[in-house]
Structure 1
């Protein structure tokens, strides 16, 4: 039994919901304590579905999202493990400052430095799967068009409006991915209850 399941189930007597590795495969699980007449835990009810079967579609959708020229989506858990990332999937980024800030903040838009380049990232937290869902880009992707527009037209207000629209597009994309993940989770729960 995984430590987080043991802690919730055995130590606190609570139902555990979450992703757990079961014999080498990640499962979306629920562990429910069965109680005897005196209230003591006498057994365990386990329900699980392979994570890939359930969220493979959501993961592929995130991987295939294209926003502008250089915006990319990624997902990591609270430990910092990149679940979906174009370059670092499966690696732990939890020791990096920007990752720590995202875990602490849960939802925000922020800038951070990555190998000498300024990045911007919008992100949200999807608690049922412990997913931090993010859309990131080079800051210059937003400021470059503004700089070009100002040089060409001298109109900083119009250029700023254009950049705001791009940032709003990224925010909507993150919200849509979170909504799809939530609907998928709800559908899985209904499926489990129907069985």
Structure 2
């Protein structure tokens, strides 16, 4: 049985043909990919949810809470708990939207940007070690593989998100921000 012809439900002994090696390699790769940041996050009593929020806020300064919810596919309640901790400990700050003041725009503080950077460096080192063991075009093949793992209907949105140029976070004080963001 090829990967292309596998049934959605297996109930008659066909499990021997499933790609358990790939499934398990993904589990182990994810476990180890997140382990290095987990150690750093534990110092602040943060978990992986904090890491994901911090990562996407840092990579998308001024992101609206609604957009973050869409990216992470979590409930507003789950995000609220994690975001409160990150704001209370000065890793993220919130500003009202320039037009609709009910909007909450999220930015990492200097402290948050530094932590997000340290976590990204840890994961980048692991990726670099893995890619160095591949043929010359290995990084491109890995990118294609991971992209194909994403649901087809959201691939265009993910492509826009991951292929944009990085913009540094906004200043952590209101000095220099437009009045529409400072509430003045």
Q: Do the two structures share a fold, i.e. TM-score over 0.5?
A: no
Higher share in strand: 1
**Structure (1 or 2) with the greater helix fraction:** 2
Question: Quick check: which has more Rg, 1 or 2?
Answer: 1
TM-score category of the 2 structures, normalised to the smaller one: 0.3 to 0.5
What's the TM-score once normalised by structure 1's chain length?
A: 0.31
Higher relative contact order (CA 8 A, sep 6+): 2
